[in-house]
Chains A and B, each alone.
Chain A
């Protein structure tokens, strides 16, 4: 029986070129489904991998209680200093707490392709400890800003996606001019930010305190000690989060939205592709009616016939799936885009076509191929031999 199945499958697959048009329908239909599915989820996985790479588990981010996002949070100067003195925070080389008070404000820049629609960019005022807390951040062009001067450095993502943030450019904010003196790369969400000196940001934006404090934890129990200490401090009402958790938590909404969109679009497109595949496979079976009947008359069984039709459908589906994944990869992989993040500012990220996504796309293609092949295969097996042979 296996031999029979192989023989008929060989015949049917070799005859695909003669029926190229309906076969192409299956391949292109599935390529479309898989390409759209892969591309949409590649967007979600790119966003996720950018934010998940951001932040460490051994650093704590302290925000005002109930703020949800850094943008909404604010401390006055006294609270900022108080937080830094809490237990659980490691000391730096200079003996002072290794913590950076940071002020997050927003500046508008124009997208490279936009004429007048400004996009929100994070401007982060930082203390020197900020660089020690993010060792992955390197200056890749120009130099670092000089504390006390209106100078800033811009992340690589900002420079790529928006205008006026390259080294040597001037950014106008609140009636004053800021010189862009450097470009930095960190490989995470900070690539979408511009950084400057905390005190310069404070005076320019008229904000005396800070938005958040980022602190290095001293040891594995540092987080718990810090958390219970600030909870016991009546002058503070703050949320303490692991830095990594804060950034990872921001991906949920985006993943949900894109997942929903991809789900709806894929299901509808897949249904359309199933109907198209059924159509093509019925046509294929009809075209080969006489041939199949002859084989049956020669003593070939029903199962090999079903197998051959199914293999043809699956093979075409797989070809379509692979084509779709390749298209998605070529068109979208590493394409850089940006969207609004939790703090209402742009997060720059790249599409990531991962192997898992490709595998899932191929599985979808095979399922569609299976559904599209099954009924025509059964019909082929059930065809009465005499009737088919007599047909023209």
Chain B
């Protein structure tokens, strides 16, 4: 019998116990996978943007708009390659499904965001069509929108000149992301700033929630940000300029410290698991003391007996952990699909790497004590049952 065969055979000597322990481990890692990917959405979600774009918002709050007259001054700053701007539209689909929807200048936005991929003809249509709208692929798929359709959308902020809040836009394009990270974020829609300025009842014109600066060199981000903020200091339109990544992080942090909640839950889960698996391992070593002594009598070294116990706990944790993470991946994909990409619960490689690290640590933690006990065994005492 090979050594690995020996380990596996030992695990199945008490089948019920091994299966039940395995199931506990699976549940723990299922939860680990799901919660960790929730955490990824809220924390690492900004990794993919890089630092080539700066967000300029009103210092008091991004809900206070900035005047479009700032545009030429922003464009004149050395290091700024192109400036786009956008305004929150407050779009609502049907009864009360809020949409992430901005009005903007199509050409400028396209220049600043090359990550969005759309056929050239559709970009041209968006630039030309005043009542035009483009939607991300996920959003269009979710509501079955097709290019050429008229899409009715309410705004919970802006009525039109006739007092109606029911706007109608022509869907002229559907964009996708250039890679997986950006494809995941195609749940938004854009309309034309010119049309919005003209058609809204308040005569709100040229008021923007954000200016987005594309830099020619990302190393200049901090310096350009300082220049912008200094330029408008002590005016009613004081600015706060930060990288897109920092903006995304602070935006999400507003919801609360999700990471903290996740850490607390996982702490409770793994503390319990440590005890469950640890107990199983301790029990199985206790029962096998005479056998371990026989092994030593046959010439197996103290180290290899320790190795057997550690290998057993590793197999238990690895098997349960991998199945749990796999289940989490499947469940996550189902959630992402079921919510139409609104909740991107993807158990990605980062979660898997963390999970595998947890498996290794776990198996050491639960295997080490019983293993050392097995290593210390004196043959004579163990055989005598002392």
A268 near B59: Cβ-Cβ < 8 Å: no
B119 interface residue (CB < 8 Å to A): no
A25 near B253: Cβ-Cβ < 8 Å: no
A282 near B31: Cβ-Cβ < 8 Å: no
B275 interface residue (CB < 8 Å to A): yes
B114 interface residue (CB < 8 Å to A): no
How far, in angstroms, from A232 to B20 measured CA to CA in the complex?
A: 69
Which residues of A78-123 are within 8 A (CB) of B?
105-108, 111, 114, 116-120
How far, in angstroms, from A74 to B24 measured CA to CA in the complex?
A: 55
Q: Give the contact stretch, choosing among A5-13, A168-176, A213-221, A352-360.
A: A168-176
Question: Which residue from B156, B236, B254 sits with its C-beta under 8 Å from A346?
Answer: B254
B59 near A74: Cβ-Cβ < 8 Å: no
Q: What residues on B are CB-neighbors of A116 within 8 Å?
A: 242, 246, 250
B236 near A174: Cβ-Cβ < 8 Å: yes
B268 near A32: Cβ-Cβ < 8 Å: yes
Question: Which residue from B233, B261, B269 sits with its C-beta under 8 Å from A269?
Answer: B269
Q: What residues on B are CB-neighbors of A282 within 8 Å?
A: 16-17, 20
A175 near B236: Cβ-Cβ < 8 Å: yes
Q: Which residue of B lies closest to A65 (CB)?
A: B165
Question: Which residue from B59, B202, B255, B269 sits with its C-beta under 8 Å from A172?
Answer: B59
Question: Which residue from B21, B233, B257 sits with its C-beta under 8 Å from A275?
Answer: B21
B31 near A29: Cβ-Cβ < 8 Å: no
How far, in angstroms, from A107 to B64 measured CA to CA in the complex?
A: 9
Q: Residues 308-342 of chain A: 1 if any B CB is under 8 Å from the residue's CB, otherwise 0? A: 00000000000000000000000000000111100
B275 near A174: Cβ-Cβ < 8 Å: no
How far, in angstroms, from A66 to B91 measured CA to CA in the complex?
A: 11
A contacts with B, residue count (CB < 8 A): 59
Among B20, B59, B159, chain A packs the most CB atoms within 10 A around the CB of: B20
A36 near B265: Cβ-Cβ < 8 Å: yes
Q: Residues 357-385 of chain A: 1 if any B CB is under 8 Å from the residue's CB, otherwise 0? A: 00000000000000000000000000000
How far, in angstroms, from A71 to B88 measured CA to CA in the complex?
A: 13
Given known A-B contacts A66-B165, A68-B156, A272 and B272 have beta carbons under 8 A apart: yes
Question: Which residue from B249, B261, B268, B279 sits with its C-beta under 8 Å from A25?
Answer: B279
Given known A-B contacts A118-B240, A278-B20, A106 and B27 have beta carbons under 8 A apart: no
B372 interface residue (CB < 8 Å to A): no
A166 interface residue (CB < 8 Å to B): no
A279 near B253: Cβ-Cβ < 8 Å: no
B253 near A340: Cβ-Cβ < 8 Å: no
Chain B contact patch, size range: 35 or more
Q: What residues on B are CB-neighbors of A41 within 8 Å?
A: none
B61 near A120: Cβ-Cβ < 8 Å: yes
Q: What residues on B are CB-neighbors of A139 within 8 Å?
A: none
Q: What residues on A are CB-neighbors of B50 within 8 Å?
A: none
Q: What residues on B are CB-neighbors of A303 within 8 Å?
A: none
B61 near A108: Cβ-Cβ < 8 Å: yes
Question: Which residue from A32, A118, A264, A278 sits with its C-beta under 8 Å from B272?
Answer: A32
Given known A-B contacts A108-B61, A265-B265, A275-B21, A206 and B236 have beta carbons under 8 A apart: yes
**A320 CB to nearest B CB, Å:** 10
Given known A-B contacts A25-B279, A72-B156, A106 and B61 have beta carbons under 8 A apart: yes
Question: Which residue from B34, B63, B257 sits with its C-beta under 8 Å from A106?
Answer: B63
How far, in angstroms, from A292 to B58 measured CA to CA in the complex?
A: 76
B2 interface residue (CB < 8 Å to A): no
B238 interface residue (CB < 8 Å to A): yes
Which residues of B243-300 are within 8 A (CB) of A?
246, 249-250, 253-257, 261, 264-265, 268-269, 271-273, 275-276, 279-280, 282-283
B254 near A119: Cβ-Cβ < 8 Å: yes
**A236 CB to nearest B CB, Å:** 11
Q: Which residue of B lies closest to A205 (CB)?
A: B64
Which residues of B70-107 are within 8 A (CB) of A?
90, 92, 96
Q: What residues on B are CB-neighbors of A120 within 8 Å?
A: 61, 63, 254
Q: What residues on A are CB-neighbors of B223 within 8 Å?
A: none
B282 near A21: Cβ-Cβ < 8 Å: yes
Question: Which residue from B17, B24, B63, B163 sits with its C-beta under 8 Å from A272?
Answer: B24
Q: What residues on B are CB-neighbors of A273 within 8 Å?
A: 24, 272
A196 interface residue (CB < 8 Å to B): no
Which residues of A268-312 are within 8 A (CB) of B?
268-269, 271-273, 275-276, 278-280, 282-283
Q: What residues on A are CB-neighbors of B165 within 8 Å?
A: 65-66
B121 interface residue (CB < 8 Å to A): no
Q: What residues on B are CB-neighbors of A269 within 8 Å?
A: 27, 31, 268-269, 272
**B16 CB to nearest A CB, Å:** 6
A244 interface residue (CB < 8 Å to B): no
**A281 CB to nearest B CB, Å:** 10
B8 interface residue (CB < 8 Å to A): no
Q: What residues on A are CB-neighbors of B283 within 8 Å?
A: 21-22, 283
**B135 CB to nearest A CB, Å:** 22
Given known A-B contacts A174-B60, A272-B269, A72 and B90 have beta carbons under 8 A apart: yes
Q: Residues 150-165 of chain B: 1 if any A CB is under 8 Å from the residue's CB, otherwise 0? A: 0000101101000101
How far, in angstroms, from A242 to B34 measured CA to CA in the complex?
A: 40
Given known A-B contacts A32-B268, A117-B249, A269-B27, A71 and B63 have beta carbons under 8 A apart: yes
B279 near A22: Cβ-Cβ < 8 Å: yes
Question: Which residue from B31, B92, B264, B275 sits with its C-beta under 8 Å from A268?
Answer: B31
Question: Which residue from A278, A337, A344, A346 sits with its C-beta under 8 Å from B63?
Answer: A344
B275 near A28: Cβ-Cβ < 8 Å: yes
B30 interface residue (CB < 8 Å to A): yes
A126 interface residue (CB < 8 Å to B): no
Question: Which residue from A105, A276, A338 sits with its C-beta under 8 Å from B64?
Answer: A105
B64 near A340: Cβ-Cβ < 8 Å: no
A268 near B27: Cβ-Cβ < 8 Å: yes
B23 near A275: Cβ-Cβ < 8 Å: yes
Q: Which residue of B lies closest to A34 (CB)?
A: B268
Query: B residues near A, CB below 8 A?
Result: 16-17, 20-21, 23-24, 27-28, 30-31, 34-35, 58-61, 63-64, 90, 92, 96, 154, 156-157, 159, 163, 165, 202, 233-238, 240, 242, 246, 249-250, 253-257, 261, 264-265, 268-269, 271-273, 275-276, 279-280, 282-283
13 residue pairs from A and B, CB less than 8 Å apart: A25-B275, A32-B271, A69-B156, A107-B60, A172-B238, A173-B60, A176-B236, A268-B34, A271-B23, A272-B23, A282-B16, A337-B256, A344-B63
7 shortest interchain CB distances as A-B pairs: A272-B27, A117-B250, A106-B61, A32-B268, A32-B272, A275-B23, A279-B20
Q: Add 14 more A-B contacts to A120-B61, A237-B163, A340-B255 (CB < 8 A).
A: A21-B282, A35-B268, A69-B156, A105-B61, A105-B64, A114-B253, A116-B246, A117-B249, A174-B236, A175-B237, A272-B28, A272-B269, A278-B20, A279-B17
